Amino acid sequence: MFEQFALPVFAGLLAALGSYIALSNLGPLNKRFKSDKKVSSRSALTLIITLISSYFTTFLLTSSEAISLAIATLSAALPFLIGRGRNLKKQREQEVAWPEAIDSLVSALQAGISISEALTQLALHGPKVLRPSFAQIQSDLLNLGNFEQVLLKEKKRLDSAISDQVFETLIISKDFGGRDANNALRLLAEFVREDIAVSEEIRTKFGWIRNSALLATAAPWLLLILLSTQDSTVEIYSTPSGALVLSLGVVMTAIAYIWMEKVGSIPAAPRALR
């Protein structure tokens, strides 16, 4: 009786675990897009396609339902990992581009251009990765007209310690006169460059550790797929005991990865000027 219901129960538990991991991971990181139904639908569709394709691909290789379900459950994290990697890459590109944007602001102010106009010009001539942000500032300045309110709004949207410093410096310069704005921006650009250089060095070192840990996490499952080409391995994992081992393996892999991410993650720079 237990053997009859072992695989269906195992399938249900794995499906529930996979859905929970995927949704809990995708939710916090994409909170800005929760209201966008198109993005949510695309994420759900991507998750479903990933689960189905990984299941059938593994099943074609192993002919084992239990092993295929385990691999499919772990693959539920792939859309999250890819999306998270893209978000982090975009965030790093924005941070690296800020010194160039500050230099452009300094050049514009030296030419006698107002701070508001200098910001709007960056929508066309600023660093490419930051142009959408400056385009939004330009649009908000036309609609709202309140310089401080516009920068505070964009600062909240960017959610970056570097943008906090830049926008707060510009607000102070706007309120108290821009005579010393150039000196303040030059000094800020130097600090930002030094901070980025240190962060990139630390990120590179942490990257080797995280990549090694990720490889160590995936290696047992790759070995399992190779061994599953043998009928004896498939028979073993088709039993209730085998299903239990796979279940524990999926859970422990998820726990190990979460712990690895927590230990290997670089703390975000504190936003002292929120």
pLDDT at 39 over 60: no
When pLDDT is averaged across residues 161-174 and rounded to a whole number, the result is 82
Tokens matching residue 186: 């030059």
- Higher-confidence residue of 6 and 81: namely 81
pLDDT in tens, 181-215: 778 888 888 888 888 888 888 878 777 777 777 88
* Residue-range domain boundaries for the chain: 2-87+207-264, 95-197
pLDDT band at residue 33, thresholds of 50, 70 and 90? very low
pLDDT at 224 over 80: yes
pLDDT in tens, 230-251: 888 888 888 888 888 888 988 8
pLDDT at 43 over 70: yes
pLDDT in tens, 88-98: 888 888 888 88
